[in-house]
Amino acid sequence: MSASSTQRRLARPQSSARADAARTQSAASPPRRTGWWAGAVVLGALLVAVVFVALQTPERATPAQVGSQRVVPERYDAERAFGYLEEICAIGPRISGTEGMHRQQEMLLDFFRRQGAEAELQSFPARHPLSGETLTLANLIARFYPERPKRFLLCAHYDTLPFPDRDPINPRGVFLGANDGASGVAALMELSHHLNELPADVGVDMVLFDGEELVYDNRRDPYFLGSTHYAREYGAHPPAIPLRAGILLDMVADAEQQFYLEKNSWHYARPVAREVWDLAGRLGVRSFKSRVKHEVRDDHLPLNQIARIPTIDIIDFDYPRPGPRAMSYWHTQQDIPENCSGESLAAVVYVVHQWLLTK
């Protein structure tokens, strides 16, 4: 995706210290400038409290009781989700039209079929931006419960940028796209384990877009090839059961997760954005911040503008953290699994799944 530089400049700076403070809110701060006796009293009180809590707590505390870091129930499996992200990254770069992408497609077709979906590739031709040759790209569509009348779109892009063009050291190096590429796919893979709990009339179409950023020159090459093709097909041949709303997941695995309301989502699909962020608030998932920030051009634009499916983008554009002088791993060689987290994936899966359960 690309972001408007104006909007990025206008974004209110937020210090990394504040973000760090928010993440570690549950940690008690030590008493300062007090005598040894005060320390002893505090220590004693803490000890009593710990013993009391230990006696009161059933054999296993539910995650919601533990603190802000553990509001996500354990069945949204952070380890499994992170395993998926690593499995995708182990393929190497997944640039549109390359062997890496083909291997990923085979792996995912097999995976989603085993998860019970009707999965297929939606192929389309595209011009290679450098060589001019015609490539065959393909979106991957996995339909769960295709006969059900209330359908929702969950999507992500699964191609990776050809080069880490914002890398300060080696902009022609290897771009792995752990967050920008693998994270949305890994989240949908984890989510597929929970779809057997949907309301009886709710079905899901998962769509992985190819050619989101087959971009060598961002002033010249077109973005969103796969989502544009999908949206045009959807408009030209509307399905018997329309998609009521959509959620795009992009850059959702940042170890320092923070999701702001994205401007285009707010413009095109405000009711959906409100539902999701309000729900996240009720669930206590604090990485969803109820403030509009960042205008991101992403696959949700063709879905809203061409297919007219009200679709929001859940995206953490501050990777790893906000601030005008903060470093960014976006489109660099630092976009690797080590800078991502399974807990972040589980948190977004939890919110999206719970949103589906309200339908």
Positions that interact with Zn ion (CB under 5 A): 180, 213
Q: How far is the CB of 177 from Zn ion (least distance, A)?
A: 7
Rank residues 3 and 119 by Cβ distance to Zn ion and give the closer one. 3
Catalogue the long-range contacts made by 98-103 (C-beta closer than 8 Å, 24 or more residues apart): 100/160, 101/158, 101/159, 101/210
- The least distance separating Zn ion from the CB of residue 142, rounded to whole angstroms, comes to 22
Sign of the alpha-carbon torsion through 161, 167, 172, 174: negative
Question: Residue 53 Cβ, how far from Zn ion at the closest point, in Å?
Answer: 45
Residue among 213 and 316 whose Cβ is closer to Zn ion: 213
The alpha helices in the chain, defined as continuous H runs, are 5-10, 16-23, 36-56, 63-66, 78-90, 99-114, 183-191, 225-236, 263-268, 270-283, 300-305, 342-357
Pairing of strands 288-292, 243-250: unpaired
Q: In the complex with Zn ion, which residue's Cβ is closer, 213 or 256? A: 213
240, 229, 230, 312: which is closest to 269 by C-alpha? Answer: 312
Pairing mode of beta strands 118-127, 134-144: antiparallel
Cis preceding linkage at 324, omega within 30: no
Task: Name the residue nearer to Zn ion (CB basis): 190 or 213.
Answer: 213
* Six token digits for residue 240: 């018997």
CB-nearest residue to Zn ion: 180
72 φ, ψ (degrees, to nearest 5): -85, 120
User: Which residue lies nearer to Zn ion by CB, 225 or 285?
Assistant: 225
Please report how close the Cβ of residue 273 comes to Zn ion at its closest, in angstroms. Answer: 21
Minimum distance of Zn ion from residue 108's CB (angstroms): 19
Residue number, 180 or 262, with CB nearest to Zn ion: 180
CB of 180 to Zn ion, least distance (A): 4
CA pair distance 47, 50, nearest whole angstrom: 5
Phi and psi torsions of 157, nearest 5°: -95, 150
